[in-house]
Structure 1
Amino acid sequence: MLHVSAGILIKDDRVFLAQRPEGKQQAGYWEFPGGKIEIEENPETALVREFMEEFGVQIRVLRKFHENVHTYAGKAVKLYSFLVVHQAGTFALREHAALAWVPLSKLLTYRLAPADIPIAEKLVGSGI
């Protein structure tokens, strides 16, 4: 099973999403940013590393939000999601097709990666 971390960054009732680029699996889908957890990492460490690599920003992990398992083409992925805050740096578009700050009220109207949908539903329902 592949283990992946995702960050939920909320500012002024808007959620930060990234759009997967052409040439990658699920191109065009929006996702909560993050990535694969390396052998020597825990989910939180992986998330801090991924935000720096993908956007050039430092984040701080606040707390675990949700955990779910999703199967893509017969491959199971365990997704750990965390609430995070932006600490430093300017967001740069390095690996994704686009970035967006999406109002919480519009989150479920976006074409989200299937594994991220349960996170989005819980987020909208939680009233955070």
Structure 2
Amino acid sequence: MLEVAAAIIENEQGQLLIARRKKGKSQAGLWEFPGGKIEQGESVEACLQRELQEEMNISIEPYEPFGVNDHAYGTTQIRLFAHRARFVGGDISLVDHDEYRWASREELREYSFAPADIPFVVRLLQEL
């Protein structure tokens, strides 16, 4: 099973960072909470800090586990670990995505999310 981490990043206005996977990537065109594959011996928090620096050129501070979701994309099984995180700084520049948004919880309803992320969207909407 592939272990992957996703960051639920909130800014000072309470908006959440979401990003759309670019063409050529699996789940292209779908929105997700940014993150990436957890490397051998790496914590979820360390993975998220590394991935967000590499993929978006931003610094974050993971502070609380949010949930875990197991999902199968065809023959690929993933375990997605979501963590709440604070946006620390940096100017977003995209590598694996073609678009990003700072969205309120209510606005999350307007986006088509990758299936593994949907349980986290549902939970965030329940917090309204």
Query: TM tier, shorter chain?
Result: over 0.9
**Inter-partner Cα distance in structure 2 for 1:27 and 1:87:** 27
Identity in percent: 37
3-state secondary structure, aligned to 2:8: strand
Aligned 8 A contact 1:108 1:121 in 2 = no
Question: TM-score, normalised on structure 2?
Answer: 0.94
Question: Which deviations, in whole Å up to 9, do the C-alpha atoms of 1:54-113 show, x marking residues without a partner?
Answer: 111111111001111001012210000001011121111232110111121120221100
Gaps of at least 5 residues in structure 2 are: none
Counterpart AA for 1:63: E
**Inter-partner Cα distance in structure 1 for 2:87 and 2:104:** 17
Structure 2 residue 84 is the aligned partner of structure 1 residue 83? yes
Corresponding residue pairs, total: 127
Aligned pairs (5 A) from 1:47-66: 47-66=48-67
3-state secondary structure, aligned to 1:97: strand
Moved beyond 3 Å, runs of 4+: none
**Inter-partner Cα distance in structure 2 for 1:33 and 1:121:** 17
Structure 2 residue 116 is the aligned partner of structure 1 residue 115? yes
2:33 equivalent in structure 1: 32
For residue 25 of structure 1, report the CA deviation from its aligned partner.
0.8
1:16 equivalent in structure 2: 17
- For the aligned residues, what is the CA RMSD? 1.0
**Inter-partner Cα distance in structure 2 for 1:106 and 1:57:** 23
